[in-house]
Amino acid sequence: MRLWRKFAIGSAAGIVLAGGALLALDAADKAFPPPLDKADMISPEVLDADGQLLRAFATPEGRWRLKTGVADVDPQFLRMLVAYEDQRFYDHGGVDIWALGRASLQFVRNGRIVSGASTLSMQVARLIEPRAERSFAAKLLQLARAVQMERRLSKEEILDLYLTHAPYGGNLEGVRAASLAYFGKEPRRLTVAEAALLVALPQLPERRRPDRNLQAAQEARKRVLERAAVVEAVGDGEAERAEAVAIPMRRMRLPALAAHVAEAALRKQAAVLKHQTTLKKPVQQGLEAVARTAAMKLGPKLSLAMVMADAQTGAIVGEVGSADYFDASRSGWIDMTRVNRSPGSTLKPFIYGLAFEQGLVSQETIIEDRPADFFGYRPRNFDMSYQGDVTVRESLQLSLNVPAVKLLDAVGPSRLLVRFRRAEVRPALPPNETPGLAIGLGGVGISLKDLVQLYTALANRGQPARLGDGITGTPGKLDGEPLLEPVAVWNVADILSGVIPPAGAPQRGIAYKTGTSYGYRDAWSVGYDGRYVLGVWVGRPDNSAVPGLTGYGTAAPILFEAFAKSGIATTPLPRPPAGAVRIAQSELPISQRRFALNASGLLVASGREPAPQIVYPPEGAHIDLGAKGGDLSPLMLKLQGGRAPFRWLANGKPLPDLSRRRTQQWQPDGGGYSKLTVIDSAGRAASVGVFID
């Protein structure tokens, strides 16, 4: 009985002591937790719309430390890592007792360290709380920290910390940074040879750097591939084949795309570590490659900028702010996509669009290109010559100045700027000046981004899109009134798609317009297909003149090459909307055969005050408004001449309101033949008969 009493007392005392020890350890654990907050100091990243890395920034201490998780790396790499470093990783609680006992016994027998006993958890503890000395106390601290982490984190979370913080030589930390630097790819698809090298380097990262000590790197990789557990993990024969694969001898730059967008992202959200953009990495790579090549041809001090946007969603898919961000001679740090410059002739398509919309002209209308005086303003063509009588189509394709100013005088500069506001674009007028005719030739300031935003309306049947800033701004279609009616947009696209490409450029099925600002300071080219708009600017950031700089000769070749290198397949331009036709000159109404204005600003065909004339729809036209489907679209009516206000009648029934405008919408109540009539304030009338299909 005495023996059992002693045993019971001793057992109780042991339990009390053990419990006390556990309580003491628990209190110490709470009082001195592992410094897991240090593990959060990682490199900020800027990503494309699909999550691909565009650009990374070093940590404050200059380290490339990209956050890496188990899901970011090849599963075979993880198997090889565990097989080589810590075979019982998923079974122990931070300390591998068997490995620790084996290492201690080997040390006693040999008088030196034969094998280590550090688990992956202990290595993570050392990485997030590094100590210069390699003492017994430091090792005990690692043991304790490993146990603490195992109590707080899952095995996957511990692996995530290792994958992010493992050293790979120089300022590279983490598997992802190393894979990008040595193999030029993300670590999701590593070969056996690549995975073995990344397993081997962290033990002695400086001595085994392949870019500095190739032989040491080869020997270290070989040891990994010869480990029995690794051979079992990779499969029979794979290790031998991997040994024959060459090791990369140089370190590559980490992705460094979209410098201006990336810098802007950090300025806007300094505390955020991952910045999602609307950019597409393949598009961005293509545009930047074109920019580098073009910069070498342009010569010193010249810069260029590009913006490519999805006209349907408003997303900026590619953006180049300068020829070279780090080139001080070109002021590369200035983001020229956001700087207001003179747009040259790039606003002319919108002038013509308004003229088409108001029924002032058709594509084959004759307009004079001769010297003209607009109350003291005397525009001249770029080459100082004049073409005489030309069609409206030819005048826009040749970018003639006098016809454009004549049309702007007819539609009104203020009305043009009001339309631009529908696209949320407000060009900058010269100080203390009201909108004037010089707008048509570049007499305002506008940024490349805003110019591309305007052109999204031309690529999207008149409905503009908001581009946002590519970072935090929300892109999307603007829900207000269209910038131009679909028929007018189609006429503009039909003309611009017929402009001859620059020498050596293939015909890509795009519509495009060029522009050169006064004094050869800015060269522009903006092109679009049925989905994307691309704008190019070339010039000097200091606004100095560059003799010989032109939109067609300088910017247009870059535009076509950038479209080709963007990797985006050309989307056909939109099909003609209902009522969109190119009418031969002989079939035009008398008032549309030649464009001329009288002193009152009315369109005339001769010297007399004109009677009203319906210019759209033309007599006898068959117009597809969807009658077969039962859901009829409205029909746009246009007239010329006459004196406001106007009364419209459809099949003898008056439309609800008098109108002072020369355009009107009519909603048919069914298909078939209809007669449309307009009567002006002087009682003069005009009629046409049409077929609604």
Catalytically active residues, by annotation: 85, 345
Strands (E) in 395-531, as ranges, are 465-466, 476-477, 511-516, 522-528
Residue pointed to by tokens 């004079």: 368
Peptide bond into 617 cis (omega under 30): yes
Q: Residue 645, preceding bond cis, omega within 30 degrees?
A: yes
Q: How far apart are CA 56 and CA 570, in angstroms?
A: 31
Distance of CA 530 to the CA centre of its chain: 17
Q: Which residues pair with 597 in a beta bridge?
A: 603
| Residue 189 to residue 133: CA distance in whole angstroms | 37
Cβ atoms of 580 and 342 within 8 Å: the answer is no
Contacts 24+ apart (CB under 8 A), 127-131: 127/161, 127/162, 127/165, 127/166, 127/167, 128/34, 128/35, 128/36, 128/38, 128/39, 128/161, 128/165, 129/34, 129/35, 129/38
Question: Which string of DSSP letters, residue by residue, matches 219-241?
Answer: HHHHHHHHSHHHHHHH-TTHHHH
**DSSP category for residue 321:** -
91: helix, strand or coil = coil
Q: Rounded to whole angstroms, how far apart are CA atoms 50 and 495?
A: 36
CA distances to 22, 464, 466, 489, 494 from 312, in Å: 64, 8, 10, 15, 20
C-alpha angle 451/452/458, rounded to 5°?
Answer: 100
Residue 620: exposed, middle, or buried by beta-carbon count in 10 A (0-12, 13-18, 19+)? exposed
Q: CA 274 to CA 290: how far, in whole Å?
A: 27
Q: In what order do the strands lie in the sheet with 663-666?
A: 613-616, 635-640, 663-666
Integer Cα distance of 666 and 614 in angstroms: 14
* DSSP for residue 398: T
Whole-number Å distance between alpha carbons of 136 and 128: 18
